[in-house]
Amino acid sequence: MTIEFDFKRLRPSRLRMRRIQTKKRRRLLAGGIFIGLAALAVFLFLSAKTTPPPPTTLKGLPSETKDAEYRMIEGKVGAGETLFESLSDKKIPVRWIELIITKLQPHLDFKKMKGGSYRVFVDDREELAKFVYEEGPVEIYEVAKDGTDFVAQRVNVPLEKQLVKVTGEIQSSLFEAMETAGEQDSLTLAFAEILAWEIDFYMDVREGDQFKIVVEKRVKEKEFIDYGTIHAVTYAGQEKNITGIRYRDDYYDENGRSLKRAFLKSPLRFNRISSRFSRSRRHPILGGLRPHYGVDYAAPVGTPVWAVGDGKVVLCGWNGGYGKQVVLRHMNGYMTHYGHLSRFGPGIRNGTQVEQKQVIGYVGSTGLSTGPHLDYRLEKDSQFRNPLKETFPTGIPITQGEMDVFLKRRDEVFAWLRGDSGPSQGSVSSAQRKTVER
């Protein structure tokens, strides 16, 4: 018996099955889309009600950028390295580096840069927002965006000003005594310059001499930065007692006479004397006993030599055994001689007018010299004089019209020096504390 299938009848049933499956797929897809949209709506609704956390900000950014988030890149400029090289090593884009250097050029001498640290602030768009360079504790510069351009400026660093009293006693030298008191060489030099017309710190200093200084110190967050104004000094020595009181940017003794005189005691700051004044000494090169009418100041080659007083250059050039020499003519018949120089000061030539403490040359060893030193001589009325013992006229006194104001200032300073009021040794008077900007 043979069974025959009618394939034509089967075709419609298969088509119906396909239609049913297609409808099911469409229903599932529509349901999935609906559920996804519903989940998205719920998420957006909940997100709108949730307060986002505040963005992270970096301390030190200007107020207008505090609401933005920054990435910070830190670095240092090492010895012998340039800022360009250091930034390049940090993968900072060249266009940023060129912008930073261009903006800082009016404020920084890149040729004299001795190193420092920096911070680069990058915004969320990976663009430069700010650059900060710290050359030192108070030498801080920044390049920050101001509108559409970048602006560079030096940052004002708040410093605390403290008025203190420093005391010390000479054991071997003023430098050693100041160091024992916990102070730095810069204060030693400033103290010596105030008394440069009164005391020769090569000749007059003796063991047991005592000094006091009332001086301002500037500090940043308890870190010492530098010294400010010196308000008063005293020096009690075996040779003499000197008081210096600051009044209107100058220093006067207790009677109101200026400490400044026509001549300094020596033409250098602090250097040991290799040969003192003598009318008879054995010449180190020529031999035999020869008069030496000056004072030799041993000092490194290149040490600046100052004019001891106002005057006019009457000789600037080579002068036999004196080598390179400058001779100045001063008032009242005085002349001063500076020999064995390595070179002359800027603008120094015959006929030049010079002022006291102006650099006229630099220590050397030219001419008949066994080593670097300054041969300094003082001449008056064609006769050489001992510069260490010469007495010069006293300074100009304060006018009578200002004497009462000066005396009040003097009494205030004396109270500080005695310790009756104001600063005390090693402490800071709270009444004298101020905040200043450098």
pLDDT digits (tens, 9 = 90+) for 212-259: 999 999 998 888 989 999 999 999 988 788 999 999 989 999 999 999
Residue 259 DSSP symbol: S
- Whether the model pTM is above 0.75: no
- Inter-residue contact 324 to 317 (CB < 8 Å): yes
**265-309, pLDDT tens digit by residue?**
888 866 444 334 444 444 444 444 444 577 888 888 888 999 999
Residue 207 has pLDDT above 80, yes or no: yes
Q: What pLDDT score was predicted for residue 4?
A: 52
What pLDDT score does 392 carry? 83
For the chain, domains (ranges, CATH) are 68-154 (3.10.450.350), 160-261+396-437 (3.10.450.350), 273-385 (2.70.70.10)
Q: What is the mean pLDDT of residues 162-170?
A: 92
Sign of the alpha-carbon dihedral angle for 257, 261, 265, 266: positive
Please check whether residue 339 is in contact with residue 323, taking contact to mean a CB–CB distance below 8 angstroms.
yes
pLDDT for 371:
86
What's the average model confidence in pLDDT over 88-101?
Answer: 93
pLDDT at 27: 65
Tell me the pLDDT tens digit for each residue of 404-420: 999 999 999 888 888 75
Look at the alpha carbons of 390, 396, 400, 405 in this order and tell me if their dihedral is positive or negative: negative
Average pLDDT, the chain: 80
Question: In this model, does residue 38 exceed pLDDT 70?
Answer: no
If pLDDT is split at 50, 70 and 90, which confidence band does 152 have? very high
User: Rounded to the nearest 5 degrees, what angle is found at the Cα of 368, between the Cα atoms of 313 and 200?
Assistant: 60
Q: How confident is the model at residue 101 (pLDDT cuts 50, 70, 90)?
A: very high
Which amino acid would we find at residue 378?
Answer: L
pLDDT score at 64 = 39
Q: What is the pLDDT confidence band of residue 356, given thresholds at 50, 70 and 90? A: very high
- Look at residue 123 and tell me whether its pLDDT is greater than 50: yes
Tell whether the model's pLDDT for residue 5 goes beyond 90.
Answer: no
